[in-house]
Every structure is written in structure tokens, then in C-alpha cells.
């Protein structure tokens, strides 16, 4: 089972590549779509021409990939409340992304819409906040792991940069001026971190899982 856990560490890379690819494809199929101003969720909005493609090949599978990536972190680097909680929070991010694909926003993703649209907004907000907090906690926990100390500061900074980008994005909700750009920069920050961290954990997997304090997870993985 340990080999399976190691493969899951690449879930961040897979989820990032898949979501980005499907977003680009869906946007190309909508002639009036604007990457700079429009929400990504608008590509999966109820009754949109790309609703099924964006939600069932983009949001849902990508979210599951991120959740599996977080599970791999829990089994590989979890040692204490910070790393454990950080991994769980990033798992919530993945689950929230998947749920955002199940519950679509209304056309144009208005702030106040149908119940389904409000659920979409709620789980998206929960996912974004969870990702930020999870990454910051993981960053501090990485300081205690020799093989991950090199990405500890980067991880912490990623969390705070993502927080700033999210706040800037929120400030544009009424005007929708460059909202799409800020959302993409926010997600790019998270996706890049998930990719780099996943590749790092994959590289040092055997070393990380043999660190004292990992015995229970090591036993569970076997």
C-alpha cells in the first residue's frame, strides 16, 4: 500500500494540470468568455454550454486529486497537530472544489442567486480559506522535517500570498474588474505549491516515512 500512498503525492500535480487544461478548453468553447474578468465557475454555470465538461472533467476530478494528495501528506509527513491539521484543511480544499462542481453557480455567478448557487459560493469560500490555513500550518510543520526544510519558508509565504490575492479578488466582486485574473493568480499560487510539494515528498518518500514518529502511519500504509 505504501507505493499507492507515494503515487498519491502526485495528486497535486495531476489536479493542477487537469483543472488548468479543462479551464482553457472550456474557455475556448465560449466566444464571449473573458479570462481577465470572469470567474472560472462561470464555465460550469447552470445551463452553460460547457457545464458538464467543466464540472465533471474539471472541478470534481481535480478536487478529488487534491484531496488524495492531502491524504498522502497526512500519511507521509503528518507528525503533530500542525501537520495533521494542515493536511486535513487541504483535504477540505479538495473536497470543496469537488462540491463546487456538483453545485453549480447561476449564469454569471451572481452574489445572490438560487440555493444551488449559494451552496456553490459557500463551499468555494470554505475551500479557499481552508487551503490558505492548511498551507501555512504545513509550512511551519515542515521546519521540523529535514528533507522539507528547504520548502518551509516557500510554503509559509505561499499561504500569505494566497491570502492577499484572495482578499484582492474579493474586493473586485462588485465591479468584476479583473476578478478572473486575481482568481487565476490565487489558484496558480496554490497549484504551484501543491506541485512542488508533491514532487518533493515523492522524491524523499522512503526517507520521510521512516522518520521516527511515523511508525503508526508507516504500519497503516503496509
Q: What is the mean pLDDT of each run of 10 residues along the chain (222 residues)?
A: 88 98 97 95 96 98 98 87 95 98 94 94 97 98 93 98 98 93 98 98 88 44 38
pLDDT at 219: 38
**Is residue 16 within 8 Å of residue 197, measured between CB atoms?**
no
Is 140 a member of any domain? Answer: yes
**For 192-222, b where at least 16 C-beta lie within 10 A, e where not — what string?**
ebbbbbbebbbebbeebbebeebeebbeebe
Compute, in degrees rounded to 10, the torsion defined by CA atoms 17, 21, 23, 27.
160
Is 115 a member of any domain? Answer: yes
pLDDT at 220: 39
pLDDT at 79: 74
pLDDT at 2: 77
Is 11 a member of any domain? Answer: yes
Is 222 a member of any domain? Answer: no
Identify each DSSP E strand in the chain by its residue range. none
C-alpha cell at position 49:
454550454
**How far is the C-alpha of 45 from the C-alpha of 105, rounded, in Å?**
5
Is 66 a member of any domain? Answer: yes
Domain count, the chain: 1
pLDDT at 111: 84
Residue 83's domain comprises: 2-209
Is 106 a member of any domain? Answer: yes
Is 205 a member of any domain? Answer: yes
Is 217 a member of any domain? Answer: no
Write the CB contacts of 115 (distance below 8 Å, at least 6 apart in sequence).
Answer: none
What SS3 class is residue 213? coil
Half-sphere exposure of 147 (CA within 13 A, CB side): 17
Amino acid at each position: 500500500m505504501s507505493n499507492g500512498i507515494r503515487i498519491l503525492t502526485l495528486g497535486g500535480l495531476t489536479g493542477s494540470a487537469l483543472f488548468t487544461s479543462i479551464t482553457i478548453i472550456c474557455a475556448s468553447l465560449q466566444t464571449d468568455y473573458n479570462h481577465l474578468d470572469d470567474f472560472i465557475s462561470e464555465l460550469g454555470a447552470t445551463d452553460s454550454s460547457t457545464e458538464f465538461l467543466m464540472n465533471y472533467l474539471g472541478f470534481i476530478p481535480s478536487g478529488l486529486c487534491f484531496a488524495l494528495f492531502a491524504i498522502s501528506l497526512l500519511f507521509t509527513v503528518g507528525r503533530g497537530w500542525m501537520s495533521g491539521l494542515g493536511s486535513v484543511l487541504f483535504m477540505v480544499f479538495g473536497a470543496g472544489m469537488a462540491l463546487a462542481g456538483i453545485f453549480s453557480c447561476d449564469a454569471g455567478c451572481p452574489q445572490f442567486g438560487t440555493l444551488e448557487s449559494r451552496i456553490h459560493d459557500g463551499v468555494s469560500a470554505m475551500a479557499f480559506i481552508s487551503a490558505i490555513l492548511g498551507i501555512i500550518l504545513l509550512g511551519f510543520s515542515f521546519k521540523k522535517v529535514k528533507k522539507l526544510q528547504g520548502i518551509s519558508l516557500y510554503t509559509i509565504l505561499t499561504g500569505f500570498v494566497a491570502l492577499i490575492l484572495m482578499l484582492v479578488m474579493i474586493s473586485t466582486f462588485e465591479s468584476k474588474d479583473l476578478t478572473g485574473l486575481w482568481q487565476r493568480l490565487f489558484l496558480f499560487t496554490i497549484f504551484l505549491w501543491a506541485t512542488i510539494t508533491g514532487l518533493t515528498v515523492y522524491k524523499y518518500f522512503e526517507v520521510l516515512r521512516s522518520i521516527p514518529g511515523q511508525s503508526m502511519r508507516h504500519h497503516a500504509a503496509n
